[in-house]
Amino acid sequence: RKEVEQDPGPFNVPEGATVAFNCTYSNSASQSFFWYRQDCRKEPKLLMSVYSSGNEDGRFTAQLNRASQYISLLIRDSKLSDSATYLCVVIYNTNAGKSTFGDGTTLTVKP
Residues engaged in binding another protein (CB under 8 A): 31-32, 34, 38, 41-46, 49, 87, 91, 93, 95-104
CB 43 → another protein: shortest distance, Å?
4
- Element (DSSP H or E) covering residue 48: strand 45-50
d(CA 93, CA 72): 20
CB 91 → another protein: shortest distance, Å?
4
CB 92 → another protein: shortest distance, Å?
8
Nearer to another protein, 58 or 97 (CB): 97
Nearer to another protein, 33 or 78 (CB): 33
* DSSP character at residue 95: -
Q: Where are the alpha helices (DSSP H) in the chain?
A: none
Nearer to another protein, 49 or 55 (CB): 49
CB 36 → another protein: shortest distance, Å?
8
Nearer to another protein, 18 or 95 (CB): 95
How would you class 67 by CB atoms within 10 Å of its CB: exposed for 0-12, middle for 13-18, buried for 19 or more? exposed
* DSSP character at residue 86: E
d(CA 21, CA 40): 18
